[in-house]
Amino acid sequence: MPLPRVSLRSFLSSAKSALHNASQQTSPLTFVIGNEAADLDSLCSAVVLAYLRTYTSTSPANTLYIPLSSIPHTDLSLRPELLPVLSRANLKPSDLITLSDLPNLSHPSRLPPEKTKWILVDHNALLGELGKIYSGRVMGCIDHHDEEGKVPKDCGDEPRIVRKSGSCASLVVEYCREAWDTVSAKSNDSETAKWNAELARVALGPVLIDTSNLENEAKTTPADVEAVKYLEKWITAGEGEGFDAKSYYKEIWTAERDVEGLSLTDLLRKDYKQWSEGGVSLGVSSVVKDMDFLLSKRETREEFFDTLKRFSQERDLSICSIMTRSSANNENGFQRELFVWGLNDKGVQALKKFEAESSNSLGLEIWKEGSLDSEDGGLWRKCWQQKKIENSRKQVAPMLRSSMTN
């Protein structure tokens, strides 16, 4: 029997309490966790899947699925795009459960792996500190990145889905919609309708933002189109007035670009992923403003590169990379830039290989007469305009990683 259904806000509050009282729990804690870049898709997919699994699961145990955002609590403030989405669901960023709610990972009192179970959304390999401790306890995933072959093939009652889609949230909705219909059919009251609309707002935000309101043909898949249709139905039913997806999309799009006040370091770590292959480590920051904006954050180029170097040293990187995705003043005129910096021999070697193999397929053209490029003292850096704008970090990071291994 699943637990009796409550609002999203009460659900998050119960899940947080369960985590804070972990030492008194007898049954294992089940987490649903997004990836370490913790973008809107990761955060919302985790909340929606955890909520629906908690209140619809047909397994005999009353499992409370805990949605975990893979960042410390203070980093939620780097994500203004959360605000229009959460407010529609009667939530605040502080309602989300973050790494700050976990017992200290380096302390002996941390959660023992055997007392946990992990479902991944928006990634399919648990990396970083969490991965070192808990990767053997991953028992399901729903994701739209390249298959990493790390999640067990048979996940029993839990999903194991890795498939292309604009947004991971669309795959979550596809997986849960039958159960969502069934649980909603049990109570035909206005409270249930309100809860459904709140949940649908959370699921819809990332689908709209990741597919540009279904208008980006290169990214949009049938799962995204179906998810939008399905979620709109709940929003219209629960909010009782005409729902306009375009204006919801624009509101989130505008909030996402409200990063003028962030420091260069905060912009670099806002949407950041890191990998390690064959002793070479790569960090890729995805930024919603262009290189000129990033450069303007420091007085001089020297200071700019000093900040980048410090950022890389703190993370022990051989390769520091920045992908910008910007639009002039509106959602048209979308453009990408790619900056890479090899910080030791192995990093430089990998990047030269990457340049030779991927320049054509990514449409790389030297940025502003090579004014950021340099080869000096065993370091090598280059910046390009990336003309093939359909390739996001989802495509570029695997290319960089493959040049690090072969």
Question: Where along the sequence are the contacts to Mg ion (CB under 5 A)?
Answer: 39
- The answer to whether the Cα torsion of 205, 209, 213, 216 is positive or negative is negative
Give 15 or 172: the residue with its C-beta nearer to Mg ion. Answer: 172
User: How far apart (Å, rounded) are the C-alpha atoms in residues 78 and 88?
Assistant: 19
Q: Does 209 bind ligand ATP (CB under 6 A)?
A: yes
Give least dist CB 107 to ligand ATP, A. Answer: 31
User: How far apart (Å, rounded) are the C-alpha atoms in residues 251 and 254?
Assistant: 5
User: How far apart (Å, rounded) are the C-alpha atoms in residues 147 and 333?
Assistant: 32
Question: Binding string to ligand ATP for residues 276 to 315, with x set by CB under 6 A, is what?
Answer: ----------x-----------------------------
212 touches, from ligand ATP, Mg ion, none (C-beta below 5 to 8 Å by class): ligand ATP
Give 36 or 39: the residue with its C-beta nearer to Mg ion. Answer: 39
Q: Which residue from 68, 71, 52, 162 is spatially nearest to 118, judged by alpha carbons? A: 68
Cβ atoms < 10 Å from Cβ of 195: 26
Give least dist CB 273 to ligand ATP, A. Answer: 6
Q: Does 216 bind ligand ATP (CB under 6 A)?
A: yes
Give least dist CB 345 to Mg ion, A. Answer: 31
CB under 6 A: which stretch of 26-34, 208-216, 226-234, 379-387 binds ligand ATP? 208-216
Give 39 or 143: the residue with its C-beta nearer to Mg ion. Answer: 39
User: How far apart (Å, rounded) are the C-alpha atoms in residues 404 and 283?
Assistant: 12
User: How far apart (Å, rounded) are the C-alpha atoms in residues 172 and 227?
Assistant: 9
Rg of the chain over CA atoms, in angstroms? 21
Q: Does 210 bind ligand ATP (CB under 6 A)?
A: yes
Q: Does 383 bind ligand ATP (CB under 6 A)?
A: no
Question: Binding string to ligand ATP for residues 130 to 169, with x set by CB under 6 A, is what?
Answer: ---------------x------------------------
**Those residues with Cβ within 8 angstroms of residue 20's Cβ, 6 or more apart along the chain or in another chain:** 101
Give least dist CB 341 to ligand ATP, A. Answer: 18
User: How far apart (Å, rounded) are the C-alpha atoms in residues 168 and 205?
Assistant: 11
3-state secondary structure of 284: strand
Give least dist CB 166 to Mg ion, A. Answer: 11
User: How far apart (Å, rounded) are the C-alpha atoms in residues 346 and 341?
Assistant: 12
Q: Does 269 bind ligand ATP (CB under 6 A)?
A: no
Give 39 or 81: the residue with its C-beta nearer to Mg ion. Answer: 39
Of 103, 222, 244, 334, the one binding ligand ATP by CB under 6 A: 334
Using CB atoms, what's the residue nearest to Mg ion?
A: 39
Cα 141 to its chain centre, rounded Å, is 14
Strand ranges in 65-115 using DSSP code E only, listed in sequence order:
65-68
Residue for token pair 């089940």: 30
CB under 6 A: which stretch of 61-69, 156-164, 180-188, 210-218 binds ligand ATP? 210-218
Of 7, 192, 212, 285, the one binding ligand ATP by CB under 6 A: 212
**Those residues with Cβ within 8 angstroms of residue 380's Cβ, 6 or more apart along the chain or in another chain:** 341, 342, 348, 351, 352, 374
Give least dist CB 252 to Mg ion, A. Answer: 14
For the chain, the straight-line distance linking the first and the last C-alpha, in angstroms and rounded, comes to 50
Give 158 or 271: the residue with its C-beta nearer to Mg ion. Answer: 271
334 touches, from Mg ion, ligand ATP, none (C-beta below 5 to 8 Å by class): ligand ATP
User: How far apart (Å, rounded) are the C-alpha atoms in residues 279 and 266?
Assistant: 26
Give least dist CB 140 to ligand ATP, A. Answer: 19
Q: Does 389 bind ligand ATP (CB under 6 A)?
A: yes
- 322 in Cβ contact with 285 (< 8 Å): yes
- 271 in Cβ contact with 37 (< 8 Å): yes
Of 29, 37, 86, 214, the one binding ligand ATP by CB under 6 A: 37
- 133 in Cβ contact with 99 (< 8 Å): no
Give least dist CB 363 to ligand ATP, A. Answer: 13
Q: Under the rule (CB under 6 A), what is the footprint of ligand ATP?
A: 37, 39, 145, 209-210, 212, 216, 271, 273, 286, 323, 325, 334, 389, 392-394
